[in-house]
A and B are shown apart, each in its own frame.
Chain A
Amino acid sequence: MTTTEGAPVVPDFGDDATDRKIAFVCSKGNLDMAYPALIMANGALGEGIETHIFFTFWGMDMINKETQGGLQFSMLGNTAMHMPGQSWHIPQGLGGLPGMTGFATRMLKKQIKDLDIPEVDEFLTMLHDMGATLWACKLSVDMMGLEKEDLIDEVEDIINVSDFMELSEGAQVIFV
């Protein structure tokens, strides 16, 4: 053990270096693909990083009041699918049986809840409270026939790709 003389050892919380900026693009509406950006955004905000989240295409389901509570998880197309604690893969054909998507969704939701990770709606409110700015894609809004009122209140605005390019200048962009 060493003894420090003079100035105490203090963590560097990087208060002076605050120009880091990150932007996530959420393009998926599957339950398992909704979480990566939310969890990373939560980590970024906790580090004091300016954080933007842009929702486009199926990612719109995450901020659409009608759909955000009903995101699903399917075994189909996921060859990595196996039961928790088991290494054998579930045959793809099983995923197509009636009720399997519901079963897989309930199971994933339970695992997420057991880890005390909030559901998508609560998560987005939390991120907004932490300072994240949420943006909706204009093209997707038009394509899906949506209005601003159809989106959760936390959404700052509906913007086009040019706007996103401008606001993400200097940001690290992560596409999910």
Chain B
Amino acid sequence: MALTTIAGTDIQVDGEGFMVDPGEWSEEVCQGLAGNIGVELTEDHWQVIHFLRKDFEQEGVTPTLRRVTKAGGFPTKQLFTLFPKKPAKKMAYCAGLQKPVGCV
């Protein structure tokens, strides 16, 4: 585990850089996280990120891509546009969560 500075705040992250404590997340931190991976946040991004936060609160695990499409109602293609190439991991990163563990 390491401490890193995101948006002027010290944040705990794992070896890869994913946040360890979702409680340290804020919208300001999210801006910093998104900036780190070259994602410019739009209203569409925020809707997805807020869904991930809400779903994590309820389920206790980071939702998989399929769950975000099925339970969140966001089309797969849209997620690949908003968070190119690796949407599941990038969404989780921006939402201050660990990467999803589910295969599907």
Contact = CB atoms under 8 A, between A and B. Distances in A.
B103 to A, nearest CB: 6
A8 B36 contact: yes
A165 interface: no
Given A10-B17, A42-B103, A46-B87, A1 B76 contact: no
A13 B92 CA distance: 12
Interface residues of B, number: 37
Interface in B40-64: none
B17 A48 contact: no
Residue among A11, A18, A117 with most chain B CB within 10 A: A11
Nearest to A1: B1
B62 to A, nearest CB: 13
A131 B81 CA distance: 11
A167 interface: no
Interface residues of A, number: 27
Contact of A117 (B86, B93, B104): B104
Nearest to A127: B76
B12 to A, nearest CB: 7
B66 A126 contact: yes
B4 A8 contact: yes
A116 B37 contact: no
A80 interface: no
A13 B85 CA distance: 9
B4 A9 contact: yes
Interface of A: 1-4, 8-15, 18, 39, 42-43, 46-48, 115-118, 126, 129-131
8 contacts: A1-B2, A3-B2, A9-B13, A12-B16, A13-B85, A15-B84, A39-B103, A126-B69
Smallest CB-CB A-B distances: 6 pairs: A48-B85, A129-B76, A9-B17, A3-B3, A8-B4, A11-B17
